[in-house]
Structure 1
């Protein structure tokens, strides 16, 4: 097995490790920041390890250095054989990261009450730290504090670090738990994941690390083989927030945020807070936060895709990982942003290659690379104007 190849371990339904797969043909592993990761592995169908690769079991994938890349359940095992295949054909094993467990639940307005007692229209978060609020949502809807009929017996929660800003928000009844957590985390600049810890699955919230001073990629440094960037225009530059109007007076407020690449563009978006009673003492905070989330989600974005090369002093999984901030040279300028997704392609015979997507869904108002591209285009425009004059 190549010394840089990913290490693949199989676990059973109780999360107990039952074997090592060291003869896979190929493996594509995609960990994602604040989202569900995935994996696809191909292996000879007549491998001695093929019997372990069944739905209900799962994989634990680590780097050659032993660092956890991701873990998760096997969702599909497909068999195929062509005339060119030797032996018994090949198996394609696909699965998702353990963070997917969060997608199996919704947010109940009264999570400790039976379904017949769900009389509230919203679940209210009042002046809680973002991490505390996220943990409470998981705990009460899927974790140890959930109703017995909803509780996932394998799910635990890491200790509360009270990270992130204080938030006030109302969660609509039965919104998807994963979607709500993603919104909260991205707005707060936090990361979250579910990974296997011992014999359980642990929900963790963390603060991404700024490694832009040490994790630097460029063609000049010899640790980059490919780089591309692109921009997506804004979908919201004006948030029209409407609260009340049902059991309380209607209040409307407009929030504007100019886009650096399209400063004259106005894209309005209705932000429905009509379920919020306008007599609420935290009404302004709730409306402000709803506008901030809409403007952040709808901001123009820049995405940078890089294909870095692992070198002795800079390796994925050891020196940077998904969620960290890294630096990359775009043309002649350095830019920094969050690693949103990494695709690791590995073969047992040839080792592992890495491709990272940076900044596509940055939690900042507008990704730094987007601002950089906006400035470049403005400079080019001014240059053309001077030449024309």
Structure 2
């Protein structure tokens, strides 16, 4: 298969400008987060006027597939006889920058409801929230019809980033966001595929990996809904199987005060118990093989069976890194899994959780 990497440059209105085949480039293509790429050119390259124009956009192509398209966000360079590096950020970033308004159909002075609330499957919630706010923004983005995939979900928006309230539920259901162009963005989701076979059989011996196994951090949850003090709605859910398996009781609390009175709090409870479930994880970087090839046998977000140490589990391919240099040619490195038991990772997760909590509090 053709391993050529090319960048297609557009202006801010989406009009084609030119195609560039760089001698040096790097890209990371993750699942359910923003992809990026960098290409390095001589500082007198004739593509620079198009790449450095205000609002310039670029598509990243590899193996005949357009993996993503987005803005040229930075173009640092050096001289006098030097180079320029153009960084491209995929359009997934807009899902973290665009917000869900309480009343998307009204002006900012007519936001007369507390929250926009969406219920249904995780796919339903994701697509309904996006469609409502794409219409509000007046952007030429469309959302594919929902197939109702995923588990029961609910999301409340009060100027929250769209991705913040919807992507975790998609991740939990192994649904992967896709953005296609026809020629304007079309957002859809696909089900994560299970790559046939055992990873070691697909890639050869696994020489360098880390794995971890952690006990649960919650076995039962109390959900606090609408109201204050003694008048607040409360709901409890207990994972009796987890308590029996581990011989332990671990309580947690889930703040769901944004929900309507009488809402189905089993959704919130299930989310809290999932966050507190026992974890088994493996982290490794892999090389491609004929049986394990980006764009042919797997996509970022697909899953593969792994047996390492005492573990036998299904793990997600979290991203693929594609590097192209004159010395090594094209090298594709899939990344598998993520271990979250280091102090830095735990601190990062705690800070992210606090930030979400502050956003919730600040928007009430």
Judge same fold: TM > 0.5, yes or no: yes
Q: Is the 8 A contact 2:28 2:37 kept in 1?
A: yes
Q: Is the 8 A contact 2:40 2:85 kept in 1?
A: yes
Matches within 5 A, 1:222-371: 223=204, 227-231=208-212, 233=214, 236-237=217-218, 238-246=220-228, 249-256=231-238, 263=246, 268-278=251-261, 280=262, 283=263, 285=264, 287-331=265-309, 334-347=312-325, 350-360=328-338
Residues 358 and 263 (structure 1 numbering): CA distance in 2 closer, same or farther, change over 3 Å? farther
Deviation at 1:236, TM superposition (A): 4.2
Deviation at 1:202, TM superposition (A): 1.3
Q: Is the 8 A contact 2:125 2:155 kept in 1?
A: no
2:346 match: none
1:174 match: 159
2:360 match: none
Residues 355 and 105 (structure 1 numbering): CA distance in 2 closer, same or farther, change over 3 Å? same
Q: Distance in 1 between matches of 2:223 and 2:290?
A: 51
2:104 match: 111
1:185 match: 170
Q: Distance in 1 between matches of 2:278 and 2:310?
A: 22
2:21 match: 22
Q: Distance in 1 between matches of 2:49 and 2:213?
A: 45
1:73 match: 71
Q: Structure 1: which 5+ runs fail to align?
A: 82-86, 363-389
Residues 57 and 299 (structure 1 numbering): CA distance in 2 closer, same or farther, change over 3 Å? farther
Q: How many residues align?
A: 336
Q: Structure 2: which 5+ runs fail to align?
A: 341-364
Moved more, 350-359 or 70-79: 350-359
Residues 161 and 347 (structure 1 numbering): CA distance in 2 closer, same or farther, change over 3 Å? farther
1:135 match: 127
SS in 2 for 1:314: coil
SS in 2 for 1:93: strand
SS in 2 for 1:80: coil
2:357 match: none
Deviation at 1:319, TM superposition (A): 1.1
1:194 match: 179
Matches within 5 A, 1:148-163: 150-153=137-140, 155-163=141-149
Deviation at 1:226, TM superposition (A): 5.2
SS in 2 for 1:318: coil
SS in 2 for 1:15: coil
Q: Distance in 1 between matches of 2:19 and 2:205?
A: 31
Deviation at 1:315, TM superposition (A): 1.3
Structure with the larger RCO, 1 or 2 (CA within 8 Å, 6+ apart): 1
Q: Is the 8 A contact 2:203 2:288 kept in 1?
A: no
Deviation at 1:240, TM superposition (A): 2.7
Q: Distance in 1 between matches of 2:187 and 2:179?
A: 5
